[in-house]
Amino acid sequence: MGIEHVNGRKIGKVMLYALSTCGWCNKTKELLRELGIEFDYVYVDLLGDPEREETISAVERFNPKGSFPTLVIGDRKTIVGFQEKEIREALKG
Amino acid sequence: MNFVGIAEEEVEEVYQRLETEAKKGGYNLNPDTEFTKNLVRGYMKNEQRYGYPSCPCRLASGKKEEDLDIICPCDYRDPDLAQFGACYCALYVSAAIKSGQQKAVPVPERRPPRTERSKNRALRTVPAAAASGPVLAYPVWRCRVCGYLCARDSPPESCPVCYAKKDRFERFM
């Protein structure tokens, strides 16, 4: 399993780095669905090498802790964790 | 979040065990049972694929010696419970959250990043200084999860308070 695409209202590139086992990651993904925007997500724990290592390095560039969920909006704004208010604010439009 | 090969009854069984163990040790599972059972499912999935139940909300390396600190209950649970009222996943919560007086909120990651962790592991393998301190009849072992101390030749098979396994103990004195 690699990057999954979810169709919706286009607001630019939105990428969610998540784990398939994580409760807060799941809540974040559900929030993005609820907001109806177009986004991509990837379950890093389900990746094999070398994609896994490359993806971890990508996450660490946006979020040095390398924790999940890491939400990257348009390659500039990063929201770490299920910060509901902040996510709603960043994606409203 | 349904994983192939883990039946609902198995999740229920592990959930009940974790709840019983939590109560005995003075801990609480998150009262949001749907959320909690999904975490239990993740815990079981990790046990299945890595051979140990690492934290469902953290990425395991698959190498046990690198993941010891995030085997559930993780080394960070108790400080997070004390500071935020929930562990990183919100699998374990404070009494106030259990009773519904407070709500579980996301907890910032306390685990150091990868580069720092490898340094910390190197430090941890240094044996406790034998010269300083009193001469003891027995070594003292500390559970890294809950802080339980015991003086005996080797640590117990599992911690009587938090049920962490023997390999989570460190030489304290």
| Angle at which helices A84-91 and A23-35 cross, to 10° | 30
Residue B98 has a pLDDT of 96
Residue B27 has a pLDDT of 97
Low-confidence ranges of chain B (pLDDT < 50): 1-2
How many domains, chain A? 1
| Residue A92 counted as domain residue | no
The CATH number given to whatever domain includes residue A22 is: 3.40.30.10
The reply to whether B97 and B134 lie within a common domain is: no
The reply to whether B138 and B153 lie within a common domain is: yes
Among B66, B99, B97, residue whose Cα is nearest residue B84: B97
Between A1-5, A15-19, A77-81, B163-167, the lowest mean confidence (pLDDT) is in A1-5
Among A64, A49, A18, A91, residue whose Cα is nearest residue B56: A18
* Contact: B58, A83; criterion CB under 8 Å: no
The reply to whether B37 and B101 lie within a common domain is: yes
Give the domain-ending residue among B103, B122, B141: B122
Residue B90 has a pLDDT of 97
| Angle at which helices B33-50 and A23-35 cross, to 10° | 120
Look up the domain containing A18 and give its range. Answer: 4-84
* Contact: A23, B106; criterion CB under 8 Å: no
Q: A15 to chain B nearest CA, in Å?
A: 18
> What distance in Å separates the CA atoms of residue B23 and residue A29, rounded to the nearest whole number?
32
> What distance in Å separates the CA atoms of residue B50 and residue B67, rounded to the nearest whole number?
10
Q: Nearest by CB to B90, from A23, A60, A64: name it.
A: A23
**Six-digit token pair at A57?**
């390095």
The reply to whether B26 and B107 lie within a common domain is: yes
Residue B135 has a pLDDT of 87
| Residue ranges of B 47-76 with Cβ closer than 8 A to chain A | 56-60
In percent, the amount of chain B with pLDDT more than 90 equals: 84
- Residue B151 β-bridge partners: B140
pTM for this prediction = 0.90
Residue pair B89/B53 in contact by the 8 Å Cβ criterion: no
* Contact: B43, A19; criterion CB under 8 Å: no
B109 touches chain A (CB under 8 A): yes
What's the pLDDT tens digit per position in A59-86? Answer: 999 999 999 999 999 978 999 999 999 9
Could you tell me which residue, B123 or A57, shows the higher pLDDT?
Answer: A57
What end-to-end distance do the CA atoms of chain A give, in Å? 31
The reply to whether B146 and B86 lie within a common domain is: no
How many domains, chain B? 2
* Contact: B1, A20; criterion CB under 8 Å: yes
Residue pair A37/A61 in contact by the 8 Å Cβ criterion: no
Residue B166 has a pLDDT of 96
Residue B130 has a pLDDT of 53
DSSP-assigned states of every residue in A36-53: TB-EEEEEGGGPPTTHHH
Residue B127 has a pLDDT of 56
| Residue A90 counted as domain residue | no
* Contact: B58, A65; criterion CB under 8 Å: no
Residue A52 has a pLDDT of 96
Q: With contacts defined as CB-CB under 8 Å, which chain A residues touch B109?
A: 65, 67, 80-81
Q: What mean pLDDT comes out for the span A25-54?
A: 97
Q: B35 to chain A nearest CA, in Å?
A: 7
Residue B39 has a pLDDT of 97
The reply to whether B117 and B132 lie within a common domain is: no
Residue B121 has a pLDDT of 74
* Contact: B58, A44; criterion CB under 8 Å: no
The reply to whether B90 and B159 lie within a common domain is: no
Query: Which chain B residue's Cα is nearest to A69?
Result: B57
**Six-digit token pair at B75?**
């080394």
| Residue B3 counted as domain residue | no
A47 touches chain B (CB under 8 A): no
Residue A1 has a pLDDT of 72
| Residue A91 counted as domain residue | no
The CATH number given to whatever domain includes residue B98 is: 3.90.460.10
| Residue B92 counted as domain residue | yes
Look up the domain containing B34 and give its range. Answer: 8-122
Among A32, A4, A20, A80, residue whose Cα is nearest residue B38: A20
Q: A74 to chain B nearest CA, in Å?
A: 23
